[in-house]
Each structure stands twice: as C-alpha cells, then as structure tokens.
Chain A
Amino acid sequence: MSQEAALAPEPAGRTLERFLQALRAVDVRVSPAEAIDAHRAAAEVGYADRGLLKDALCVTLAKTAEETGRFDACFDTFFTRAEFAGTPPAGTPSPAGDPDASLADMLLAGDQAGLAQAMERAAARAGAESIQLNTQRALMSRRILDGMGLRQLEATIGALRADGGERDEALAERLGLARAALFEEAGRFVDRQARLYASETGRRLREQILSAEKLTAIEPHDIRAMETLVRKMARRLATRYARKRHKAKKGKLDVRRTLRRNIGHDGVPFELVWKTKTLHKPKIVVICDVSRSVAAAARFLLLFLHCLNEVVERLDAFAFSDRLVRVNDLLDEETVDDAIPLILARVGLRPTDYGHALEDFMAAHGDRLDRRTTVIILGDGRSNYADPRLDLMRRVSEGSRAVVWLNPEPETYWNQGDSKMADYSRFCHVAKTCNTLKQLERIIEDVLRAYLPR
C-alpha cells in the first residue's frame, strides 16, 4: 500500500541509480553506458507499470541467462518494501511522509507509511548500500534505529515510566511493545539490504581466497565452489584460445597458381586463386599423476584436464600411479563428476612409480610425440626410490616440442627424500610449482600462448 507514496519523495532517477548499484553487487555487470541505456529504457516505459519496467530493464541490463535470473531476484527484492507488520492503525494515520512527526507519535498512531519512509531515510543516511558483509548487519540496524530517533523514544518511555501515572504506565507499555516490533522490522530491513548488497560480495571474496588456497589444503565443503571456479577458468581459456586456429586465408593473391589456372582464358585472370596458410593444430599430451602422495591435488588436476579437453581439440590424456593408462575415452564420454572417480578407481591412489609409467608411455604411446606436441606432466616427481628412468624422460623431451612439468610441491622440497624432481626438471622446458588455482591458470595460459604452435 505504501509503495507509490514511499517512492515519491525520492527522484525516480536516484532510485534507479541505487538499483543499479544493487545489481552490481549481485554480479550483474552494469557499465556506465548500460546505465545510460537503463535510464533511456525507464524513460521510455515509465515507472507506472512495474512488470513492464522490470522487463524493459531486464532486456537492457542482463546479458546472459544467469544474469537474467539474478536480475529478476534482485529486482523483486529491491522493489519490495516490507509492509510494517505492527499494530493496525488506531485512529487516523498522520499524513504520510510528515518528516517532523516523532518516532513515538508514529508508533502510537500506527503510521506504517510514515515509519517505512523514516526507515528509508535513516537507511540512506546510514549508508545501507555500502553494506558489504553479513557481519555488519547488527551495526547497521542500530545505526538506522538511531537515525530514526531511537534515543528520543527511549527517553520518552523513560520519562513516562518515571512519572508513574497509570495512564502513562500503559502508554509506556504500548511504546515498549512497539519498540520491540520496530527492532524486528529494522532487522528484517537490514537483512534485505544485506541480501541486496552483501551476498555476492561475500561470495566473490570467498572465491578470491579459494583461488589462492593450496590445492592440497582445500576443505571438503569448499570443493564444490572450487570446481565452479576451475570450470570458469577453463571456459575463459577456451573462448580465448579455441578460435585462434581458423586464420587460414590471408587475402593474398597466389599469382603463380592464378596464371596457371587461367591459361585457358588466354591469361586473362577470370578465376582467382588465393594463398592459403595451413595452420597446425595444437597437440597436447597430458600425463597426470593420481597417486596417493598427490591425491588431494589430483582431483583438481583431473578436473582441469577435463575442462582442457574441451578447449584443445587434440588432447591425449594419460593418468598413472604405477601403471599408465589413456583416459581420453572417460573424459570424452563421462561428465566431470563421473569421470574423476572412474579414473581414480582405474589407476589411482597406489604408490607412484614414474619409471614404470614412463616405460608404459613410451612403449604404447611413444609414437604420439612429434615436433608439434607439447607434453604437460602433472605430478610431484616422487617415485618411491624406484628407477626414475631418466633415459626415457630424455627421449620424451627430445621427441616433443616442449615439456612442461607442474609440481604441487614448493621448489625447496624438490630432490628431498624420494623426489627426483630436480633430475626430471633438467629435461623440461618449464618446471614450476603449481599448487593454487591461480598458479594453475597462469601456467596453463602461458603454455597455451608460448608452446602451442600457431
């Protein structure tokens, strides 16, 4: 009921600005140009029909299906004003928006519209839009109540109680009850603000922390969030690199072939032949250690492998702990959730034997290597004191374009205990520590840029 009345005191454009801010907080990207579009759209359809306004803003602002969903939710939350659920108006409500009416008067009169407006004003003064984290909620509701004149109300109640008259006592009682209701109302109001402005910020903060977290130290309850992150990264890489390959035609005339083709026309070049450039498709061989020592990281390495499989057309994926198997079929046919346990069940979680795995690889798949192949090895290089077969590693290195080794352990641990990493790294073009998502993304991107033939 208070919808239109409460909107009135604020210019509509300002409300729209606050709404855009709320949208940005829920991760719908609104650039200044889009903000201008939104204002134009709103001017076009007007503010009278809420459904129409919603649709019009939605088509101008939300740019993906997910954003559409978030937009709808945000719009509904933003433009819903909780009706004050206090006592029904006893007597005539004071004219809505009377800024001079004291809090006590409004509570006693049951002036819902006035209270709602006072809360809006107090919230704007207290900067409710700037709420970023859920922990700020208690403070924010306190500030809003203060802004509405809580101190004065308490003083009034105190004075009434002190007087001790029966009528005053009853009045103080009523005001006390109303105050409790007001507290709840403010709590709900701030909750809604927090939903509007803080929920996504919290999530983003979490993602930031997660992407810098060690892969081996991820808590089980964070795994889901982590997987979403990995997928996001892979998709980003996918869009950036999947298209680089189709630049065959350069628009240059092939004079020699044109002349030859047109001899029949007396040398008049009716049919033109253009120079084309054959582009080599990138070829990647990934060998992934899934043994016990890297079990925690292996899950993410496999996940990344799965996503990479969608990016790169010719990806040969192998997994090993003591024996090595090709896992392309699993990556192709199964979803991530199914593929990873299957791979782990097939070869995973047994003691590592790099020498053996390299033997398997060279024996069965050595012919996959050529001058266009980039080999990526994911593993810790701990071979349980078995023969590391450095001779085979040399052959892998010589037979391919580049060998990139990503190791979840920090460099200081390399070559301590049963690690043969320092030995292996001599045959690698790049050997790097990679134990957070951020590092993983950066390295994979470097690999795609530098080691994939164009």
Chain B
Amino acid sequence: MTQGPLASVETIIEGLAGVGYIASRRIATALYMAAHLQKPVLVEGMAGVGKTELALCAAALLGLPLIRLQCYEGLDESKALYEWKYGKQLLYTQILKDHMGQALIGAPDLATAMERLHGAGDLFFSEPFLEPRPLLQALREPGGAVLLIDEIDKSDEAFEAFLLETLSAFQVSIPELGVIKAETPPVVFLTSNNVRDLGDALKRRCLHLHIPLPDQALEERIVAARAPGVEARLRADLVAFVQTLRTLDLRKPPSISETVDWARALILLHAQALDAALVRETLNLLLKFEQDVAAVEPRIAEFLAHPPATALAR
C-alpha cells in the first residue's frame, strides 16, 4: 500500500479532494497511519461533521467496496458476523429426508449408519449454508475493503468486547469452520457520537481522530466542493453566518452537513445574496430545535450586518 493514493499525506489530501472530501492534514494523516500501521480509526465528533462521509470517500478513493455495519442497542454476533441459514438447512433436510433413508439402507450396523450421518451433518454446516454478515464479508473480501462500523457507542459493551478480536488481528473464529483470517486487512472506520464512553481496550486498539468544526476558510472550501454553484461572495456570507451561529449558546449548533444543506437550498431558491427574510424562511435547515430558532430569529439582521468577530466580542 506504499504506492497509489496512500503514498503520502499530500496524495491523500489531493485524492480525497478529488472525490469531494476536503480533508485537514490531521484527517489525512489518520488515514495514512491507518493504512500503514493497519489499525482501525475511531472517528469522533459532533453529528454532521463528516465522520461517515470520510469512510465513504475513503472507499471511493481506494476503489474498494464499502461494507457498513450500523450499530444499535442489542446488536449481536449473528447480525454482525455470521449466521447459519437455518431455513435453508431445514428445507434441505426435509427434501433430502428420503434420500438419507436410502443412504442408510446399506449400513450393516448402527455404528456405520452413525458414521455416514456424521458426514452429512458436516455438510449442513459448511460454506453454502453460511450467511456472512458485514464483519465476515469485510474479512473475506479478496482485494480488501473499507469497513465502516457506524455509531459504535450505540452498541452494548458485550459487542464492543466481541469486536476486539476482529479489530486487532483481523480474524474471527467460527466454531464449525475454524479461524477465518483476512487476506488483505480492511481499512476500518468506527464512528462514535459519544453517547457513552467507550472501553479503554477498544480505544487502545484504534487510532483516534477527532473532527472539530471547521474554520471559515476550510468550511468555504467544503461548501465549494459539496455545493458547487454557489457564488463566491454568497458562499463567504453564508459560511460567516453559520460560524456566527456557532459562537452562540445553542442546543445543537449547526454542523457542516447543515451548512451544505443550506447552501444547496439557497441554490434551489436562486438566491443571490443573504437577506433577513431569506434567512428567516430557511432557518429551519440550520437549526433543529424550536428554542434555538426562537433564540436566533430576532437577531438575524444583526448577525448579517456584523462579521463573526464582532458578534463574538459582544
């Protein structure tokens, strides 16, 4: 992996920009280290800051399939790793019932019959009856894959512990089949919204990447990449407005995805410049709580008039 898109941090930044993800140096370094040290990356940050998007774009950059495992309370091995196709097994035993009888007809004694049955039993716990779930799929992908374990903090502690083997050795043990080891270790991203503290053992095995909210310049570049078609001046204005909102004490300050949504909405509305009426009508794209909207609405004109620095100083 020393050639190609992962050769250096610079090529990663360029490559990600090519697929529409404007990465800071730290993000690119994390991806570089992940590929070279073969460690998973734990990505933290506010909702909408581009955690999941990073994995999607990394997959696009590397030309690898993206395999996604969405975590939720109660997620267990059978949903994450593998399951036996119970229905298929049962169906086959029913269909083959007569056949099995015939197979046993010639058996001279009970021991031989048992012997033959053992062979058949193993057949039913073999590859064709295995239903691979995301983790197993990612390990068995011959050319490697990008594995996204989304919102790991929503899963139970038991599941987190179960992940440890997979993440540190890139292998899983299936009792009936043995240990399955990845030929090419997948690039793994775990995302967390910090609903709960993750265990130290898991954190230790991961590289940690915290994506902060971007500054004005970076956010303008992100908007330019994600919502092309917004005029430069309008783009600067709208990003400045969002940056101002973030200095306020809001319940949910707007993150990057909200800024991009807003920019796209402004394109649809053929807006040329920001004015108070337009902002008021589209404010619900930026703020997701009634209290926040109520707090911001009366001050829109003031925020538009002042650049963020003065608003901060107030």
Mark A residues whose CB is within 8 Å of B: 29, 31, 33-34, 37, 40-41, 44-45, 51-52, 55-56, 58-60, 62-65, 67-68, 235, 238-239, 242-243, 246, 248-249, 268-270, 272
Contacts and interface: CB of A to CB of B under 8 A. Distances in A.
B26 A59 contact: yes
B25 A41 contact: no
B264 interface: no
Given A59-B26, A59-B41, A270-B87, A246 B74 contact: yes
Given A52-B25, A268-B94, 19 more contacts: A40-B37, A52-B29, A58-B26, A59-B30, A59-B208, A60-B33, A60-B37, A60-B207, A60-B208, A64-B208, A65-B44, A67-B208, A68-B208, A235-B197, A242-B196, A243-B196, A246-B73, A269-B90, A270-B87
Interface in B202-238: 203-204, 206-210
A61 B90 CA distance: 50
Contact of A59 (B29, B86, B156, B196): B29
Contacts of A29: 200
Interface string B87-102: 1001000100000000
A238 B195 CA distance: 11
B258 interface: no
Interface in B27-47: 29-30, 32-33, 36-37, 39, 41-42, 44-45
B9 interface: yes
B209 to A, nearest CB: 6
B208 A63 contact: yes
For B32, B196, B208, B209, which residue has the most chain A Cβ atoms within 10 angstroms? B208
Contacts of B210: 62, 64-65, 68
A239 B197 contact: yes
Contacts of B74: 246, 248-249
B37 A243 contact: no
A388 B55 CA distance: 64
Contacts of A40: 37
Contacts of A248: 74
A59 B209 contact: yes
Contact of B203 (A52, A55, A63, A242): A63
A209 B76 CA distance: 43
B19 to A, nearest CB: 21
A9 B204 CA distance: 32
A239 B196 contact: yes
B204 A34 contact: yes
Nearest to A269: B90
B157 interface: yes
Given A34-B204, A239-B197, A272-B86, A55 B26 contact: yes
A64 B212 CA distance: 12
Interface of B: 9, 25-26, 29-30, 32-33, 36-37, 39, 41-42, 44-45, 73-74, 76, 86-87, 90, 94, 156-157, 196-197, 200, 203-204, 206-210
Contacts of A272: 86
Contacts of A52: 9, 25, 29
Given A44-B37, A63-B208, A68-B210, A238 B196 contact: yes
Given A51-B25, A59-B26, A243 B207 contact: no
B98 to A, nearest CB: 15
Nearest to B9: A52
Contacts of B41: 59
A162 to B, nearest CB: 59
B270 to A, nearest CB: 39
Nearest to B93: A268
Contacts of A63: 42, 203-204, 206, 208
A448 B195 CA distance: 21
23 contacts: A44-B36, A55-B9, A55-B26, A55-B29, A55-B30, A56-B32, A56-B33, A60-B37, A60-B207, A62-B210, A63-B203, A64-B44, A64-B203, A64-B208, A238-B196, A239-B196, A239-B197, A243-B156, A246-B73, A246-B74, A268-B94, A270-B87, A270-B90
Given A64-B208, A239-B196, A56 B29 contact: yes
A360 B64 CA distance: 66
A51 B28 CA distance: 12
Contacts of B207: 59-60
A58 B32 CA distance: 13
Contacts of B9: 52, 55
A243 B156 CA distance: 7
Contacts of B197: 235, 239
A357 B210 CA distance: 49
B159 to A, nearest CB: 10
Contact of B90 (A33, A51, A58, A268): A268
A58 B156 CA distance: 28
A41 B87 CA distance: 48
A268 B97 CA distance: 12
B10 to A, nearest CB: 10
Most buried by A among B33, B86, B204: B33
B100 to A, nearest CB: 15
Given A44-B37, A52-B9, A55-B26, A31 B204 contact: yes
A59 to B, nearest CB: 4
A41 B208 contact: no
A248 B156 CA distance: 12
A67 B200 CA distance: 13
B156 A33 contact: no
A92 to B, nearest CB: 39
B196 A41 contact: no
A50 to B, nearest CB: 12
Nearest to B195: A242
Nearest to A49: B9
8 closest A-B pairs by beta carbon, nearest first, are A55-B29, A59-B207, A59-B30, A63-B203, A65-B210, A63-B208, A239-B197, A55-B26
Nearest to A236: B197
A380 B55 CA distance: 56
Nearest to B199: A239
A246 B197 CA distance: 17
A249 B74 CA distance: 9
B161 to A, nearest CB: 12
B180 to A, nearest CB: 22
Nearest to A58: B26
